[in-house]
Amino acid sequence: MPPITDHPLRYQLSNELHARPFPSVSAGSRAVFLALKHQGGAGPEAAAADLAHLVELLDRYGAPHPQPGATHYFGALGRHRIKWERHTEFVTLTLLLEGLSERAFDPHDFDVFPEDWIAAAPGQRITSCTLRIEAQHDTSIIQSKVSDWFVRESLAVSSVLDRAAIVAGDFHIDPAGHTRFAIFAGAGVGQGRIGRIVQRLFEIETYKSMSMLGFAHVRDLSPRMGELDFELTKLMTQMQNASGQAETQLDDLLHVSTELEALQAASSYRFGATGAYEAIVSQRIAALREQPFEGRQTLAEFMMRRFDPAMRTVTSTQGRLQSMAERAIRAAQLLRTRVDVDRSAQNQKLLESMDRRADMQYRLQETVEGLSVVAISYYAVSLVAYLLYPLTDLIEVSKGVITAAVTLPVVLLVWLGVRRIRKKTHG
């Protein structure tokens, strides 16, 4: 059998599916998480800056470097383990720390990231988390701990992955600037399964925060959209009442339409990204297979009450912006039709005026031609009479008789000549 030619990207694409495995995490450990959003674009320069920033951290701990152009990295960082991933808009770093600190959610856990290194980051923090993984105790102990650690009003607690663990969090930012999560792992739960729960919680927090950027964008956008909606409604009312100059209204309407198109262009990426991030949040929560714990709200219920309304606002604003743009386009088309009709009426009046002028000019031309015949005939008769005056003695007639005799033929000839010239001129 002859060898089969592989596509040049076959192995690269296959390895991509296995390039970002879940970390192995044991009960009785901690994790800190940091997500940095790019300040500028997401092009090659941003990718190089993110990778260089990671390399600087690895050098401080004497850790090996990732491959050139890498988008993910997992390895040892001193006594800890680091997981680095680069996404389109942001970079995430997860540090896995062995053992439990005496103080739950100790902010000093973040000291693994040097302050000057964080200050030199090529992006801004979009979220950061501290996570505590404990062996599962009885229900009363878990209830007591989550009540002490989290804000009661927004606390979400649920049993996940077929009661393999209990997860808890309140999505609040604590005084140290971090969001807190806790995992209470059941007996016999493997490190890989705990690692998947850790990864899912950090992904939920990250994509939830990235989705909320769309909500912030909508809040900034809404006042100007309200002003444009008012202007558009005002212009359409004027069109309905046929008040004002149509061409002036068309200029104003085109200005509104242009601004709406610019807002759509500027918002399309953020709206699209928000929809994608929202879908990922829902997928990650569904992957946890939550079950209620002691009557507490689950992560899904928290998102339904707090997160989903914000996302519906984004979706509604996106639809409203699209609707306004379409309304402006339709109104501009109608007004342009009105302007064209008005111009056609003006052109018709102009043509009628030109017809009247042409008719008047034709009549004037006929009058001038008539006067020309008279004038030419006068001079022609005089010339012919002068030529025939010497014959008066021979034929014994007076000059007046000769002049009268030649007048009619000469006038007729002049009229025929002028008429022939006019026919040649007008083709």
pLDDT digits (tens, 9 = 90+) for 208-238: 999 999 999 999 999 999 998 888 888 888 7
**Same domain for 180 and 32:** yes
Beta pairing class for 123-135 and 80-86: unpaired
Classify the C-alpha dihedral 92-275-193-106 as positive or negative.
positive
Taking the C-alpha atoms of residue 54 and residue 371, their distance in angstroms, rounded to an integer, is 103
Residues 93, 55, single domain; the answer is yes
Structural domain contains residue 74: yes
Does residue 8 belong to any structural domain of this protein? no
In the prediction, which pLDDT does 65 show?
93
Is the same domain home to 48 and 168?
yes
List, in order, residues 6 or more apart from 342 with CB less than 8 Å away: 246
> Residue 105 is encoded by which pair of tokens?
């959610």
Task: Give the pLDDT band (50/70/90) at residue 20.
Answer: low
Reported as a pLDDT band with limits 50, 70 and 90, residue 321 is very high
**Would 200 be classed as within a structural domain?**
no
User: What's residue 137's pLDDT?
Assistant: 76
Q: What is the largest CA-CA distance in the chain?
A: 159
Mean pLDDT of the chain, nearest integer: 85
pLDDT band at 168 (very low <50, low <70, confident <90, very high): very high
Q: Tell me the pLDDT band of 98, cut-offs 50, 70 and 90.
A: very high
Task: Establish if 242 belongs to a structural domain.
Answer: yes
Residues 222 and 339 in one domain: yes
Kindly indicate the confidence band of residue 92, based on its pLDDT and cuts at 50, 70 and 90. Answer: very high
Q: Which residues contact 169 (CB under 8 A, 6 or more apart)?
A: 150, 155, 156, 179, 180, 181, 182, 201, 205, 299
Assess if residue 73 is contained within a domain. yes
Same structural domain, 32 and 148: yes
Q: How confident is the model over 69-95, as a mean pLDDT?
A: 92
Residues 66/54, Cβ–Cβ less than 8 Å: yes
Residue 341 shares a structural domain with residue 371: no
- pLDDT score recorded for residue 387: 67
Q: Looking at residue 244, what DSSP letter applies?
A: S
Pull the structure tokens for residue 93.
């770093």
Q: What is the pLDDT of residue 273?
A: 94
Q: Which domain holds residue 402?
A: 366-425
H-assigned helices in 288-307: 299-302
Task: Answer for the pair 328, 253: CB distance below 8 angstroms, yes or no.
Answer: yes
Q: Is the pLDDT of residue 409 over 80?
A: no
Mark whether 52 and 186 lie in a shared domain: yes
Of the residues 156, 190, 224, which one is the last residue of a structural domain?
Answer: 190
Q: Give the number of domains in the chain.
A: 3
Q: What was the pLDDT predicted at 11?
A: 72
Confidence of residue 248 (pLDDT cuts 50, 70, 90): confident
Same domain assignment for residues 183 and 279: no
> 8: pLDDT confidence band, cut at 50, 70 and 90?
confident
How many angstroms separate the first and last alpha carbons of the chain?
A: 88
Sheet holding 123-135, edge to edge: 72-77, 80-86, 90-98, 29-38, 123-135, 179-185, 165-173, 156-160, 291-292
Say if residue 291 is in the same domain as residue 390.
Answer: no
Residue 427 has pLDDT above 60, yes or no: no
pTM of model > 0.85 = no
Residues 342 and 407 in one domain: no
pLDDT, mean of residues 312-318: 95
Tell me if 31 is assigned to some domain.
Answer: yes
Statement to judge: residues 261 and 116 lie in one domain: no
- 148 backbone dihedrals φ, ψ, rounded to 5°: -80, -35
Q: Which of 152, 189, 190 is nearest to 168 (CA)?
A: 152
Of 172-176, 324-328, 350-354, least confident by mean pLDDT is 350-354
Same domain for 336 and 421? no
Mark which of 301, 316, 348 sits at the end of a domain. 348
Residue 228 makes CB contacts below 8 A (sequence gap 6+) with 256, 259, 260, 263, 324
CB 172 within 8 A of CB 179: yes
Q: Does 10 reside within a domain?
A: no
For the beta carbon of residue 412, count every other beta carbon within 10 angstroms. Answer: 12
- Name the burial class of residue 376, with classes exposed (0-12), middle (13-18) and buried (19+) by CB atoms within 10 angstroms of its CB: middle
Boundary residue ending a domain (348, 379, 410): 348
**Do the domain assignments include residue 16?**
no
The residue ranking higher by pLDDT, 280 or 334, is: 280
The values of phi and psi at residue 351, to 5°, are -65, -40
pLDDT recorded at residue 15: 67
Percent of the chain predicted with pLDDT > 90: 51
